[in-house]
Amino acid sequence: MTKEVRLTITGIQSGYGQEDVSEVTTMGQYHEKGGRRYLFYSEYTEEGQIIKNRLTIDPEYVELRKTGQGESASPSVLTFRLGQMVPCRYLTPMGYMELTSDTREIALKTREDSLILNLQYSLILHGSLMADYRLTIRAESLMNA
């Protein structure tokens, strides 16, 4: 079953005494299969390039996979496992960064017509903390909007 959804993605990045807040609203698709939930959506870079995103919500982990960042580019993959340090690979304009995610919270609330996913994690680069993150993804069915 696939549903059209309105996604609101709110991110708070903190570190080095600063806090940056961003919020994006976009349209996407919600799909369930084999005990997993999937959110598919696109975003645009400042250069107008389309990045396709697949968010997988599994009972054991959450994974964000980004594709379309260049003809020969492998996807960026950020994986979040509660209480675990997980290697991740993220494409930046300067090339790939080998990161580690350290996830403190994965909280999923579902209703018949919506879901809210809260993630709290840190990203670590070469053993040093880059930043702490709080990410909230809200998906609301358009059929009930």
What pLDDT does 70 receive? 58
What pLDDT does 91 receive? 82
Closest CA to 103 of 118, 85, 87: 85
- The tens digit of pLDDT for each residue in 100-130 reads 999 999 999 999 899 999 999 999 999 999 9
What is the reported pTM?
0.89
Q: Tell me: pLDDT of 73 over 80.
A: no
pLDDT top residue among 45 and 110: 110
On average, the pLDDT of the chain sits at: 91
Closest CA to 133 of 20, 8, 7: 20
What pLDDT does 144 receive? 55
The domain 2-141 is placed in CATH, from the list 1.10.3720.10, 3.30.470.30, 2.130.10.10, 2.40.128.20, at: 2.40.128.20
